[in-house]
Amino acid sequence: MRFVDLVFVVAAAATLSVSSVSATVTAVDYQLVEAMYQKGQRHYSAGEYAAAATQLKQVVKLVPQVVEAHHALIYAEMQAGNMKGVMKAVKTGLKLHPENGQMNALFCRNAGQVLSNHLDYAKIKLPHYSEIIPFCYKAAEMLPDDPNAQADLAFVLKTTMRYKEAVVAYDSWLERFGELNHADFIITKTNKARALMRDGQFDAAHQVLLEILDDPEGRTSSNMQAASMNRAIGYPMDPLAWEYKQESLEMTVSEFTMTGGKGSPLCNPGGKWRLAYNYSEEAVAHPDRVQVTHLNPDTVYQSYGTPTDPKFVGFELPRYPKVYHEKSMFLVHLSDTYMSGHPGVLHSDCTLYTGSHHVNIDLQIFPGTDKHMEIVEINEPAVSIIQHQMSNYYHWVSEVLPKLLLLNDHILSKPGNEHVKIVIAAPAASSSVIRDTFNMPEFKHLKGRFIEYDDPGRKRYHFKKGLWIVDWIHPKVDLHGTWDKSVWGVYWPPRGAYDRVRKFWWDALKARNMFPAEGSEPENIVYVSRKGAVRGFPNEDILLDYLRDRFGTRFVVHTGKEDAMQQVRKFVDAKVVVGNHGAGLSGFLATTGNSRLVMVPADPHIDFCFGHMVAAVGGKHVVITEIPGANYFGTFGPITKKQMIIIGDAIQAALDEVDAETAVLHDEL
């Protein structure tokens, strides 16, 4: 956008009259405004947007009645990337010019950006979204011929989870502006599909996405990703989700151009990037680059689980996995490699390693070019524990913690390896559970050995002294049909990973005299709260009161606010763990006896991670399908008294079953 396109008309300031504004501008003011404008124009043309904004702030101060001055300042702040300055300028301009359509549109657009990137803009305070949306409708109404105003309205509606309204807004855009620009038509249609998907209208979203993918301009990697996501969250164990994701991934990697510069081991100029799905195969083909040690050769491919678990209260969920086989676990050493992107994607020698996440590896912010990249040289050997959503409790317990423990067993705690560093994502370092874990005396030898991995979209970390990881292989041969082509199954770890975490937790509790006495049986009912979160009951407090009245002091609520080991201790005492599908159910891993998980599933229920966890530790679970769930992005409806009784009865049945089985075991002894 050129500065002169900002519609700021300085000449108007020289001819303002009392009839048009609240005050006149003197000749001196005009000369000052003109000089500031010209200086701002030069800065803007030179790409010095912050300096341009500084000048325009003074212009706005001198002629606040000129709405175009506010527009100019807002655009300069936008180009400077100063969202705080943008919102301040927008609010000021909107207060002075509430009936200006462009001002309403600018507020809507930028508020939408803040809402959709709340982690990046956490310090920017906005009104509640219910107060923002009217400005968006007003802008679209006042600017009926502006496709951006209509698109911004739809975007804000989608961002604030008013999906049905968003679909209507996208349809309006497609009808009125769909023939103006085919690329914008494809983008808007894709956004409509995403709104349908988030509203749980998966069939409708799939049809729209099929139309997009049939268009030569629409069959892009990002649209294939959208199609995969819709199938993944809308259809249990769906092979189409895998196929779309694999095509999207291969399309993305084929477009990579990064080389790292002359002499870099990243990729020789002209080299074609490829995917490596299996570290053990890479070790055979390229032993100078990749070396592996098989950590579980004695247990790999052993089966676990039972065909009779779970029990359903209500209808049986389709395609519910029940029996699994053990995956291979490897200690992997990469002699010289790079890391970039959100989940710490490893790549070198024109090869991108997918690791255990296989086709479902996240490349959304992975930098596929050398442009604007900073190379961070790491001059010591290191290990990495970076994973997808590692601050999420499920991913921490299931993927990060077992890999940390195994890396500690084999590398970090070994004499002579005190110089080996640990790579951890910078945001994860502030997570309370992760911080509590590293503060445990069991990890005191790791103090001062961390490398914080940050800005993954603009930095490429070069481990020229080597990098170790622990990973497992998504199997090509699937004995039971539960792993193969499951985009969710890639997040389910081997049983051996859970065994290692369980042993660590129990040993840590014993060292602190917090483990139950030998011979004692767990008695508590631990309810995992999802108050205020997705897939939670909006009136959860009423349910908790009912369950407390019914089960008394043995009923305990888990909120996740305790320190790491206090949380574990709570679940060690659990005879029954109860809750809606969500990360907090991972605490079931700490249970010690013949415990039960009672779960209210999502609808559709597509991620069977907790069923797998229960099978891996030899437990059993109950799935209450009689209570309507919520989709991946949704919230459960208010729970009724009848549904509370259903949950209470399921808990009581689980308690009775555990007691009966425990009595039989005691008789046999």
Residues 499 and 462 in one domain: no
- Residue reference for tokens 């510069």: 261
Domain boundary among 472, 504, 537: 472
Residues 123 and 231 in one domain: yes
DSSP-assigned beta bridge partners for residue 580: 600
Domain with residue 104: its CATH number is 1.25.40.10
Q: What is the DSSP letter of 146?
A: -
Domain with residue 611: its CATH number is 3.40.50
Query: Is residue 309 domain-resident?
Result: no
- Residue reference for tokens 């919520």: 630
137 falls in which pLDDT band (50, 70, 90)? very high
Residues 222 and 278 in one domain: no
Is pLDDT larger for residue 519 or for residue 289?
A: 289
> Per residue in 85-111, pLDDT tens?
999 999 999 999 999 999 999 999 999
The residue-averaged pLDDT of 16-41 equals 61
Query: For residue 669, what pLDDT is reported?
Result: 47
Contact criterion met (CB below 8 Å) for 166 and 157: yes
Query: Percent of the chain at pLDDT above 90?
Result: 75
Task: Give the Cα-Cα-Cα angle 315, 320, 324 (nearest 5 degrees).
Answer: 150
Q: What is the DSSP letter of 360?
A: G
- Residue reference for tokens 């399921």: 650
Written as one letter, the residue type at 348 is: S
Query: For residue 40, what pLDDT is reported?
Result: 86
In the sheet that 524-528 helps form, which strands lie side by side, from edge to edge?
311-313, 620-624, 596-600, 574-580, 524-528, 555-558
H-run or E-run covering 290: strand 290-294
Contact criterion met (CB below 8 Å) for 646 and 546: no
Query: For residue 11, what pLDDT is reported?
Result: 34
Residues 526 and 465 in one domain: no
Residues 370 and 455 in one domain: yes
Weakest-pLDDT range from 117-131, 155-169, 404-418: 117-131
Residues 101 and 249 in one domain: yes
Q: DSSP readout, 504-527?
A: HHHHHHHHTT-SPPTT----EEEE
Query: Is residue 7 domain-resident?
Result: no
Written as one letter, the residue type at 52 is: A
14 falls in which pLDDT band (50, 70, 90)? very low
Instruction: Return the HEC string of 76-100.
Output: HHHHHCCHHHHHHHHHHHHHHCCCC
Query: Is residue 591 domain-resident?
Result: yes
- Tell me how far apart the terminal alpha carbons of the chain are, to the nearest angstrom: 81
- What is d(CA 524, CA 528) in angstroms, rounded to the nearest whole number? 13
Helix, strand, coil percentages, rounded to 5, for the chain: 50, 15, 40
Per the structure, the complete domain to which residue 565 belongs is given by: 495-668
CB atoms closer than 10 angstroms to residue 368 = 18
- What is d(CA 457, CA 177) in angstroms, rounded to the nearest whole number? 33
pTM of the model: 0.86
Residues 88 and 172 in one domain: yes
Residues 450 and 504 in one domain: no
- What is d(CA 435, CA 450) in angstroms, rounded to the nearest whole number? 12
Nearest to 468 by CA among 337, 362, 283, 286: 337
Query: For residue 413, what pLDDT is reported?
Result: 97
The residue-averaged pLDDT of 390-411 equals 96
Domain count along the chain:
3
Task: Give the Cα-Cα-Cα angle 214, 219, 222 (nearest 5 degrees).
Answer: 140
169 falls in which pLDDT band (50, 70, 90)? very high
Q: Is the peptide bond before 604 cis (omega within 30 degrees of 0)?
A: yes
The residue-averaged pLDDT of 442-471 equals 95
Query: Is residue 193 domain-resident?
Result: yes
Which residues 6+ apart lie within 8 Å of 611 measured at CB?
310, 320, 321, 322, 621, 623
> Per residue in 508-544, pLDDT tens?
999 999 999 887 888 999 999 998 888 899 999 999 9
- Residue 635 burial by Cβ neighbours in a 10 Å radius (0-12, 13-18, 19+): middle
Residues 532 and 440 in one domain: no
Nearest to 418 by CA among 437, 446, 441: 446
